[in-house]
Amino acid sequence: MSDLPDGIQRREFDGQTRLATRGDPVYGEPTDGGWRCWDAGRSKLGAMLEGGMGIDLSSGEGVLYLGAASGTTVSHVADFAGPTYAVEFAPRPMADLLDVAEARNNLFPLLKDARKPDTYSHVVESDLDLLVQDVATRGQARVAVDNARFLGDNGQLLLAIKARSEDVTADPETVFDSVCAELTEAYKITDRQRLDPSHDDHLGVVARKR
């Protein structure tokens, strides 16, 4: 079972026990007092936690989140973490992400390309605890390897690999093996698990910086 920090609990919503973080709700999710439901069907990281992967969030003092989109998952991360840098390439979801960040003083949206970490290295601090990546692009391993510079010693990578973004024609397991092999340039993989049925053709990967 994942080691959940104080800012995450398992609470009952609509008769089901689900993950929740304490913070301002976004996009109409169910709430219970000051807790907001973390829907695994809308969040790859949520699905990794629900699947019981070997994730350690107890030291999430500083986080770099790649592929923040409109802010659904990264808002949950910012609820329990320290400084959270949210990189998103597309202007439209960035507008929504900026709205989400208004209620979170520790969430810093960056309109940048995760494939080009030099463009935000002057903003993002080094020695971070967590790198969370959900980027739908070819070369997902290279993105993770190039951004490892921001992790401190023994920093953790939480990666959602989207097989169809790498090769829409290849067998997903073949894609997953290839991406994981490339990750070993900078990381030691400690856990991997398919995210079906919440997210088809996705693999969750937990790894430590070498």
User: Known binding site: residues?
Assistant: 72-73, 88-89, 113-114, 134-137
Q: Show the CA angle centred on residue 149, arms to residues 2 and 7, nearest 5°.
A: 30
Which of 70, 55, 41, 67 has its CA nearest to residue 8?
A: 55
Residue 16 dihedral angles phi and psi, to the nearest 5°: -125, 140
Would you say 205 and 183 are in contact if contact means Cβ atoms under 8 Å apart?
Answer: yes
| Residue 117, C-beta contacts closer than 8 angstroms, at least 6 positions apart | 146, 147, 149, 150
Q: Show the CA angle centred on residue 70, arms to residues 26 and 45, nearest 5°.
A: 80
d(CA 151, CA 154): 8
Sequence ranges of the binding site for S-adenosyl-L-methionine:
72-73, 88-89, 113-114, 134-137
Q: Which residues pair with 128 in a beta bridge?
A: 151
Q: Which residues pair with 64 in a beta bridge?
A: 85, 131
d(CA 207, CA 183): 9
Which of 148, 171, 151, 175 has its CA nearest to residue 161?
A: 175
